[in-house]
Structure 1
Amino acid sequence: MVSFGKPEGYDGYDGRMRARPLGLRMRPRTAAAAACLVLGLGLIGGAATGSWLTGDGGDGTAASGFSAAATLWHSVPVDQLFPPTVPGTGAGPGGADRTWTRIAVARDSACADAFDPLLRRALAPVGCRRLLRATYTDATQSYVTTVGLLFTKGDPAAMSALATRFREEHLDRRADLMPRPYAAKGTAAAHFGDRQRASWTISVLADVPVVAYAVSGWADGRTVDSPQPAADAVHSGATTAPAQAGLGNEAQGLADRVERRLRQTAGKATEKPS
């Protein structure tokens, strides 16, 4: 027997060998598809209407959050961005807990003397609106860490471009682009100068106009010949002195938590009253 394909418009034969028009079986499917289409359009329209009524547009929310974050340096108390005590559950080497105590807060300032010239040049595309800094020590006062929040003048496009450059060119791992510490007289950080920098981290945040960083060292003022970026020092196999002492964990752990508080504060600033 030679079998040919079924002619268009038919999908088989019934019990008495009569062709069944395809349209007879397609009508229920077509009706169901039409119903789904109408339902889907209704849901989309309802969602769009609800978003319009509540003012909950995605791009608008992101833009308002970005703008709100730019003013946080003077609109929120210092304790909200740099708490007196910062818990670091699992932040130490091997998942050990850490607790950091704030020992000094710098007055908000410009950025002229806060960074080495090369880092200042790398950050120039986004400008400097204001710089906030605080220095912390661990529970044993063996280590000191300065954490900073640079509020920039950059718009979302400029921040995104700088974040991409730092990521692709690994600028956050270059020792000649380390942030400077903030040393305060009469504290455990009194001798925390440029030569005492042991580990550091820098994050260019694209969703808010902020560059967050932290730099750590020993509290006894010892100099460091080979500082190591925190991203490398926190690896379990790292054998450098900063890594073995956990100074990478100090910088990374504290920076992460301050950055998290910044985002939470920015989010609350954009919440609408119920």
Structure 2
Amino acid sequence: MSGPGEPFAGEPFSGESFSGPSRPTRHIDRPPDPPRRPFVSLALPDTYDGDTVQPRQAGPRRRSSIVAAAACVVLGLGLIGGAVTGSWLTGDSSGGSATPDAFTAAGDLWHSVPVDELFPATVKGEGAGPGGADRTWTRIAVAPASGCEDAFDPLLRKALAPAGCLRLLRATYTDATHSHVITVGLLFTKADSAAMAALHRRFEEQGLDSRRDLMPLPYAAKGTLAAGFGDGQRASWTLSVLTDAPVVVYAVSGFADGRDIGEPEPAADAMKADATTPVAQAGLGHAAQGLADRVERSLRKTVDPATEKPS
């Protein structure tokens, strides 16, 4: 801004703009002086609430923003942690690997957990039957813990050999009508997570879980409804190599009356909506798959608290 007696910025300099005491006053016709520039404040703008001016309070708002940002970070970490735990509890066995602690803990369950937790006396299968019908299975026999020498056919034992055999646990169930018998097994292996992942890929890529010459054997307990459940009575089966635990889960189903099955079917085929074979129509594919799924879920629920460290 110009000082007294000085021209405005941008106004051409002229000696006639000044007056001296020795010269008479002269009246010169010239345009009027331009209006002075308005005063501009460079202070922070005010906030308004109606007609009342309220100065901006930067401190509290900044603190609240920081708190909100921190809350978002904590929430995000919680969701990530929940997703990792959820992948184990919901049965995501073909995705990422479990943490080393969880993998090791799962491999120790065969000798540290009561049989009723791994093979519950009663298993409810909501929506596990054909058409989404509910099913209930009752345990009728538990096999002694064993190795794998006589528990699998030679070809299946050879296919599973890369993972090793630490311990095999088996139980046999029947349905509510006592018309089906199902053996479910948990093979605890000696393999690490990389070896289990490799075995899982091999079974999946080569379709080994659907070959009839690789069906698991049933456990035919004497003096029970499954006493006649032999090799020829195997109707449907499922087998899953887990990648987040050193465990192979399988189940094989048949009729409780001991009838021979000429054409057994893998559960995945027998469960198809358009399947019309006697095995499919009887729901034996659903029985094998439904019971195997729920025993696997029971295993996962059991291993979760085992991985928690005391506070």
Provide the TM-score with structure 1 as the length reference.
0.78
CA distance in structure 2 between the partners assigned to 1:161 and 1:90 by the alignment: 32
Q: Which residue of structure 1 aligns with residue 13 of structure 2?
A: none
Tell me whether 1:175 sits opposite 2:224 in the alignment. no
Partner Cα distance (2:271, 2:119) in 1: 23
Shift in Å, 1:273: 2.8
**Could you say which residue in structure 2 is the equivalent of 1:97?**
134
- For 1:201, the equivalent position in structure 2 comes to 238
1:155 to 174, 178, 192: 192
Structure 1 residues 64, 192: CA separation in 2 closer, same or farther (over 3 Å shift)? same
In the TM superposition, what is the alpha-carbon distance from 1:266 to its structure 2 partner? 1.3
Offset at 1:61? Answer: 7.0
1:272 corresponds to: 309
| One-letter code aligned to 2:122 | T
Q: CA deviation at 1:88?
A: 0.5
Give the superposition deviation at 1:272. Answer: 2.3
Measured in 2, the distance between the counterparts of 1:228 and 1:75 equals: 35
For 1:259, the equivalent position in structure 2 comes to 296
1:91 and 1:60 map into 2 onto residues whose CA distance is: 27
Q: Which residue in 1 is equivalent to 2:123?
A: 86
Query: Which residue is equivalent to 1:191?
Result: 228
Greater shift in the superposed pair: 213-222 or 235-244: 235-244
Could you tell me how far apart the structure 2 residues matched to 1:267 and 1:156 are? 17
1:130 to 154, 159, 167: 167
Distance 1:179 1:60, change over 3 A: closer
Alignment of 1:1-274 (within 5 A): 62-274=99-311
The amino acid of 2:276's aligned partner reads T
* Cα deviation, residue 267, structure 1: 1.4
Question: How far does the alpha carbon of each residue in 1:126-156 deviate from its partner, in whole angstroms, 9 at most, with x for none?
Answer: 0000000000000010000000000000000
The runs of 5 or more residues in structure 1 that have no matched partner are: 1-38, 52-56
SS in 2 for 1:206: coil
Task: Say which is worse superposed, 78-87 or 263-272, in terms of deviation.
Answer: 263-272
Q: Distance in 2 between matches of 1:253 and 1:169?
A: 24
What TM-score results when the alignment is normalised by the length of structure 2? 0.69
| Partner Cα separation in structure 2 for residue 198 and residue 172 of structure 1 | 14
Asked whether the 8 Å contact 2:253–2:284 carries over to 1, the reply is yes
Say how many residue pairs are matched.
Answer: 226
Q: Residues of 2 paired with 1:264 and 1:73: CA distance?
A: 14
Q: Answer whether contact 2:174 2:180 (CA < 8 A) is retained.
A: yes
In proportion to residue count, which structure has more helix?
1
Deviation at 1:240, TM superposition (A): 1.1
Q: After TM superposition, give the deviation of residue 258 of structure 1 in Å.
A: 0.2
CA 158–60 in structure 1, closer or farther in 2 if over 3 Å, else same: closer
Structure with the greater alpha carbon radius of gyration: 2
Query: In angstroms, what is the RMSD of aligned CA positions?
Result: 2.2
Structure 1 residues 127, 234: CA separation in 2 closer, same or farther (over 3 Å shift)? Answer: same
Give the partner amino acid of 2:215.
M
C-alpha displacement of 1:60: 11
CA positional deviation for 1:71: 0.8
Q: Distance in 1 between matches of 2:229 and 2:116?
A: 23
Percent same amino acid among aligned pairs?
Answer: 69
The 8 Å contact of residues 192 and 246 in structure 2, kept in 1 or not, is answered as: yes
Q: Aligned partners of 2:272, 2:205: CA distance in 1, in Å?
A: 21
Corresponding residue number in structure 1 for 2:63 = none
What SS does the aligned partner of 2:168 have?
strand
